[in-house]
Structure formats: structure tokens, C-alpha cells
Amino acid sequence: MSDVSVRFAPSPTGSLHIGGARTALYNWLYARHCGGKFLLRIEDTDKERSTPENIRIILDGMRWMGLDWDGEPVMQSERIGIHRPLIERLIDEGGAYRCTCTKDELDAKREAAQAEKRKYLYDRKCRDAGHGPDCGEHVVRLKMPVEGEIVVKDLILGDVTFNAAELDDWIIARSDHSPTYNFVVVADDHDMGVTHVIRGNDHLNNTPKQLVVYQALGFDIPAFAHIPMVHGPDGKKLSKRHGASAVTELREMGLLPEAVRNYLARLGWSHGDQELFTDAELIEHFDVANVNASATVMDFAKLEWINQQKILAMTPDALAERLLPYLIERGYSVEAGPWLTTLAANIQERFKNLVEMADHVRYFFEEPSAYDEAAVKKWFKADTGAILNEIADGLEALDPFDEAGIEGVINGVVEKHETKLGKVAQPIRIAVTGSSISPGIFETLALLDKERSVARIRKAAAHATQHQAEKQG
Ligand code: GLU
């Protein structure tokens, strides 16, 4: 095993977003590529906004995405015992100091800065005051460099330079002693042995602050890689309005996790002009340093195309297994087995996602409640009632009720009436599915079984006869 350790560190203040899932994926791919560790840390220190329900949704989303993490998830809120001594140490060593400035005092200074249209920065009044532990109510501030530059060496963005004069001595522990976010991230990343911090570039502005904590504590500085945000086609932050924004919605759209992995990996990263990757190929080729620095735009049509390619590449058995939960969710009585595998094989080439498939096959589980009017108008002719009844008779006598036998019966009727298969097949489709769209008619009838096929064809025959009578009357 290499010594590379990366982590995904979601805040459970909402669900797992597509952008977050991509950050997780890049961490996972990089860890697997290097033979290192992929760790998970739940940043649940915001007690009001972090909920157990959100934690569950995030973990489920990670599992659905197939992003398995190493070891137990680390809960940030349970690690105060690690954070607190580090703050004491920083004060003792002079890297941080107690600040007793009151809220009123700071508010007045902030207002004065605003009035003068100046950016407000803490004026470092307590920096050299040497306040001891008994100074009364206080916060703890980090001594930031007063001048010069802080350079973030980023694997994707290159060197990003921050002017020290624009950053103040920020608070690392509040007056209730609780450590603040940017401090805790460093303490945890160091404690967890993180070697590469791969995260969204919405955190880039935190990095210079975090770098100073690393330096003050004498910790090794990890490599940083800030990955660009995922936007909607209009350039705005991705939201449900663009199609979907949460990972749960991707599942609800009938997408396969391997398609989502392939698409999100390819979004902002490439390997030549290859579009379709197996997981093994992604792991082999992915390097975080090759991620594109510019913002990326979510293209749901392309995601769906990849999904279709993954569906086509599956064995019918595998497809059946993936389809099954969608069928059960719709209340259909169905189980895994040869019947379902045959169904999967018959519809595999026709649909782009599992939802379209599951919705389409409803007629195998429920009798169609009505016939598509336009289809009836187009395909039910004067002789349709008689033809359908003859086919029903033939099918009823068939034993075994299999595709070849069904084909024989239908072709026999077609020949007898000197018509064409298409003209007969469409009314049968309408009879069994309610509309004129279905996979091959012989396969469909075989899957439906004899009893239901015959009953539906007879019912449609009656309807066709009545339809003609109405037309003439
Ligand atoms: N908890 C942060 C987030 O959800 C990530 C922080 C980090 O990766 O350093 O955006």
C-alpha cells in the first residue's frame, strides 16, 4: 500500500450534491489509482444544521455511487479531545493568542471600516498583549503573517498567491472554547494522515489560513488540489431546475452508478478522447493533476447517453438485477429469475434508463386500462376483430406456448388473410400493451403467458368489432 491518504469531508447540512459526489469520486479514484487510502470524515460540527438524516443520505449516496471508503467514517464533532490541546499548544508556543476584545468594540470598528468603504480586518490589538488563561472571556486568534505572500501550491491550479495583508488574525477558538472550522480541518487532516487534500475550489480561500496553521503547528503540509465547481448549462450553480442536483435524484432518474462515475470522472478530466471507461480504466488512468482548471457544465443528455451505452454493454442477467428494485418500487409482483432476465434482454436496446424501462413494462404486471386512441384509429380495421379472434383461438391451442409456436400461429393467420405481419402485429400490441409500442410481439406474448395473451387479444377483438360498428353506424 502506498502512503497516499485522501479524504472526502462532507458537511451533513444537506444531501449529497452532484458536485460533492464528483469531489468524492476524484478522491476515491486517486486513492485507488495510487493504492492508497480513501477516508471519510463527516464534518458535523455545525450542530444546528447537521442532522442524522443528512448523514444517512450522504452515506447511502456514497454507497450507491460505489465509493467505498476505508475504515470507519470519522465524526468531527467527537474529536474535541484532539483539537483543544493543539490550541493550548499554539498559545504556549506563541503561534496564537487570547483576545479579549468585546463584541461591541469589534462591531464599532467594523462599522467604521464600512463607513470608510474599507475592508474590515481585525486590528490585532491583543496580538502582543500577552493575555494569560485568567484574562476573562476571550477568543483565541491565530498569528497570521503581517506582510508578504502566502502561496498555495495547487496540483490543478498551479501557484495561487494570496496577499498576507488581506488576511487578519482569525479566530481559531470561540469564547466557549469550541475550535473553529478552518482550524479543525487542519487538525483532523493531520491526525488522519491525509497526504492530498482534494476538495471543491469553493474552499480555496480557506487554504492560506489553513497553511498558516500547518506551519504554526510544525505539521507536514499536504498536497492540495482544488477542483472546479459543477455548473448548470446557464453557468449558475447546479440546481434541481437544471435536471437534478442531488445524487438521490440521479438514482430516481434511472441512471446506473457506473454511468454516473464514468460521466462525472470525464467531466473536467480526460484521457485522450475516450468517453467510455470501465472502473478499472478510470482507476488506471486517473490523476488529479490532470483535472481541468476551468468550471464544468453538467450535460444531462451526455450522461444519459453514457447510461445507455452501459445498459447495452451489460449482460441481461446484470440488467435484470439492476431493474428489479425499480419494478418492486412500482408495486409489480416480480422476482429475479429466467423470466426477468428474458424481459431484460428484450428491452435492453430500447431504453436509455431504468425508469423508462420500468415504466414501459407495466403491461406485464397490469392489464392496460385503456387503448391509445390514435393507435386504435390507425390500426383497427374492418377485419381486425375477426383476425384477433382467430389468433386468440390459435394461441389457446398452442402447447408449449413459446416464441416459435406463437410466430407460427400469427404467420398462419397473416397468410390466410393475405395481409402483412405489421398490419396484424400492431393490433396485437395494442391488445396486450394498450399502445403500439413494445418489443418484438412474439417475445412479448411469450413473456406475458398464454392465459393473459389470449384474454387481452379477445378483449381487443371485441373492442375492434364495436369500434367498426360505431364507425359505420
Ligand atoms: N466540509 C466541507 C464541505 O462540505 C469540505 C471541507 C474540506 O474538504 O476541506 O464543503
Q: What is the DSSP letter of 97?
A: E
C-alpha pair distances (Å), 125 with each of 106, 151, 166, 180: 10, 26, 17, 20
Across the chain, what does the average pLDDT equal? 96
> What is the spatial distance between Cα 303 and Cα 243, in angstroms, rounded to a whole number?
11
Domains, in order of start, for the chain: 5-72+229-305 (3.40.50.620), 77-184 (3.90.800.10), 318-472 (1.10.10.350)
Give mean pLDDT, residues 148-158: 98
According to DSSP, the residues that pair with 197 across neighbouring strands are 224
- The set of residues, in sequence order, having a beta carbon less than 8 Å from that of 386 and lying 6+ positions away, is 461
pLDDT confidence tier of residue 95, bands split at 50, 70 and 90: very high
Do 432 and 360 contact (CB within 8 A), yes or no?
no
User: What is the rounded distance in angstroms from the CA atom of residue 442 to the CA atom of residue 431?
Assistant: 13
Q: pLDDT for 281-302, tens place per residue?
A: 999 999 999 999 998 999 999 9
Q: How many residues does the chain have?
A: 473
Per-residue DSSP letter, 315: -
Residues 6+ apart with CB under 8 A from 173: 87, 139, 140, 179, 180, 183
Point out the ligand 1 atom lying closest to the alpha carbon of residue 13. Answer: 4
pLDDT over 90 (residue 179): yes
Write the DSSP assignment of 108-127 as a string of letters: HHHHHHHHTT-------TTT
Residue 137 Cα, ligand 1 centroid: separation in angstroms?
Answer: 30
Give per-residue pLDDT as tens, 317-373: 999 999 999 999 999 999 999 999 999 999 999 999 999 999 999 999 999 999 999
Residues framing ligand 1 (Cβ under 6 A): 9-11, 43, 185, 199, 203
Q: What is the DSSP string of 155-179?
A: TTTEEEEEEGGG----EEE-TTSPB
Which of 44, 203, 210, 230 for a ligand 1 pocket mutation test, highest count of atoms within 8 Å of Cβ?
203
Cα of 43 vs centre of ligand 1, distance in Å, is 7
* Percentage of the residues of the chain whose pLDDT score is greater than 70: 100
Q: Which of 37, 125, 209, 240 is catalytic?
A: 240
Compute the average pLDDT of residues 194-210. 97
Does residue 1 carry a pLDDT above 70?
no
Instruction: Give which of 153, 291, 144 is closest to 222, Cα–Cα.
Output: 153
Predicted confidence band of residue 254 (pLDDT cuts 50, 70, 90):
very high
**Residue among 169, 205, 189, 196 nearest 90 (CA):** 169
Residue 406 pLDDT more than 70? yes
Portion of the chain with pLDDT greater than 90, in percent: 93
If you take atom 5 of ligand 1, which residue's CA is the nearest one?
A: 9
Range list of H helices, 226-299: 247-252, 257-266, 279-285
Say which amino acid occupies 136: G
Model-level pTM greater than 0.85?
A: yes
Distance (angstroms) between ligand 1 centre and the Cα of 207 equals 11
Check if 377 is active-site.
no
Pocket mutation for ligand 1, best pick of 11, 13, 58, 194 (most atoms within 8 Å of C-beta): 11
Q: What is the pLDDT of residue 469?
A: 85
Determine the Cα angle at 308 with ends 303 and 311, to 5°: 125
The pLDDT of 461-470, averaged and rounded, is 90
Residue 459 has pLDDT above 80, yes or no: yes
**What is the 33 CA–ligand 1 centroid distance (Å)?**
22
Distance CA 30, CA 131 (A): 45
Greater confidence, 375 or 45?
375
Distance 119 CA to ligand 1 centre (A): 26
Q: Which of 43, 54, 75 best tests ligand 1's pocket when mutated (most atoms within 8 Å of CB)? A: 43
Report in angstroms the alpha-carbon separations of 23 from 9, 14, 226: 9, 16, 9
